[in-house]
Chains A and B, each alone.
Chain A
Amino acid sequence: MTAHIPSALRSYTAQQSEVQVEGATLAAAVAGLERRFPGIRFRIITEQDTIRPHIRIFVNEKQVQHLNAPLEREDRIYIVCALSGG
């Protein structure tokens, strides 16, 4: 599946805006991202395994709230930086 990386995180992905990931859940996909791009997980997921306040994650067009969200092989993951002030 494809994960869309926001500009704020592309320093981790060698400026790639899309990367391929695998996993049956969002947790597994994010773990895969972390293995390939060390440090990226903690910028978007807290130590309590919650999505950070100004980060939104969509699977296809639907926002997901938890890391246990299931994923399908053809899903597209969008990591979005939400509003955070001036």
Chain B
Amino acid sequence: MKSSASEIGPVTLLIGTRKGAFTFKSDRTRRAWKLSAPIFLGHIIHHVVCDPRDRRTILMAASTGHLGPTLFRSTDAGKTWKESLAPPAFPKLPEGEKGRTVSHTFWLTPCHANEPDAWYAGTSPQGFFRSDDGGTTWKPFSSINDDPQYREWMGTVQDGTPDGPKLHSIIVDPRDPAHLYFAMSGGGVHESVDAGKTFIPLVKGLDTVEGFDPAVVTFHDPHCVRLCPSNPDRLYQQNHCGIYRLDRPSTTWVRIGKNMPKHVGDIGFPMVVHPRDADRAWVFPMDGATVWPRVSPGGKPAAYVTKNAGKSWVRLDKGFPRANAWWTVKRQAMTADAHESVGLYLGSTQGEIWASRNEGATWTCIARHLPEIYSVEAAALGR
């Protein structure tokens, strides 16, 4: 399925790094870019997201090495920032009971277009939160934060990623605000059709690490799940164990990564979908062999695109270093704009921003020497 309505204006990249946030603004042609000064220099910025409903509100998930987590919000397209009055936090448990503490907010998703000022947040360790006032105050969302079954599926801190287990990939069906998905590393993919009152796992068809039972939700590690805007019944997923597609109402994921070149494999972090063509999606593979180096396979960075829903993949490496480039791209650090010729953008673990104005056919490095990049989002900011 294809849809129309492409963007034509400048693109603003919202960049979260281990040492602060940056914006990178293009001209209308997306050939010239202007990098901002650091924003909240020294803060660990996990995600920076513009609200597509007003194109002026931006939320930023922040923490530092010393201080507890917080959120900053701008309502003037990033000119000024205010701190959230009540960032995501788990409930205080009575004395003697061991409650959880939010290490950092990891993921931000604006709610449905019909729910202005409402946002979802996913945290580390895994927690699901919602704000109904534009990110000023946050409350636990749904029952999963304290549900014994979900707590079991979340596992412990030792079961999570090195800097903490995460709730991410919060997805709102554009046709129905009550239809939600989210994913956990680890802890699987989950779906709600009742506005988050209840969730059920959606892990059938997903592989797990050899020797672990795929029937156990805990063992599933989705890295990034995306819904196709042009066909909300189609989802793509980059998982710890491969690349998948799900066409609803089916509940069984199909491993489309088996069609990737064997010497590259289908392990990676980000997953990017085309804004208007549900058959097109991009991945950025990394080395998931032996001890999991998590670098570009062979030191040769490349994106891969499918134009037929995963039946085949095409390597896109023109412009990238030909060898000896030992970096990769984190799950929130690759994104697309909505131009007619879709722009792709990625931030590397070594602080480079790479851009393509032609859907990945050629790549140009537009920034070097930034801190380690955690997230890149492309926004069409309003004036």
Quote the shortest CB–CB distance from A39 to chain B (angstroms). 5
Q: Cβ of A52 and Cβ of B67 under 8 Å apart?
A: yes
Give B contacts to A, CB under 8 Å.
64-70, 83-85, 87, 89-93, 98-102
The dominant DSSP class at the B interface is loop
Most buried by B among A8, A55, A82: A8
Stretch in A22-30, A40-48, A57-65, A70-78 with 4+ CB within 8 Å of B:
A40-48
List of B residues within 8 angstroms of A50 by Cβ: 101
Q: Cβ of A54 and Cβ of B92 under 8 Å apart?
A: no
The dominant DSSP class at the A interface is loop
Most buried by A among B66, B70, B90, B100: B66
Q: Cβ of A47 and Cβ of B92 under 8 Å apart?
A: yes
Q: Which of B66, B92, B93, B99 contacts A82 (CB 8 A)?
A: B66
Residues A9 and B99 in contact in the complex (CB < 8 Å), given A38-B85, A47-B89: no
Q: Which of A49, A52, A82 contacts B68 (CB 8 A)?
A: A52
Quote the shortest CB–CB distance from B143 to chain A (angstroms). 18
Give A contacts to B, CB under 8 Å.
8-9, 38-39, 42-50, 52, 54-55, 81-82, 84-85
Apart from A48-B99, A49-B92, A50-B101: 4 A-B pairs, beta carbons within 8 A: A39-B84, A44-B68, A48-B101, A54-B65
Q: Which of A8, A39, A46 contacts B85 (CB 8 A)?
A: A39
Q: Cβ of A46 and Cβ of B68 under 8 Å apart?
A: yes
Quote the shortest CB–CB distance from A42 to chain B (angstroms). 5
The residue of chain A having its C-beta at the shortest distance from the C-beta of B101 within the complex is: A46
List of A residues within 8 angstroms of B67 by Cβ: 8-9, 43-44, 52, 54-55, 81
List of B residues within 8 angstroms of A43 by Cβ: 67-68, 70
Q: Cβ of B66 and Cβ of A84 under 8 Å apart?
A: yes
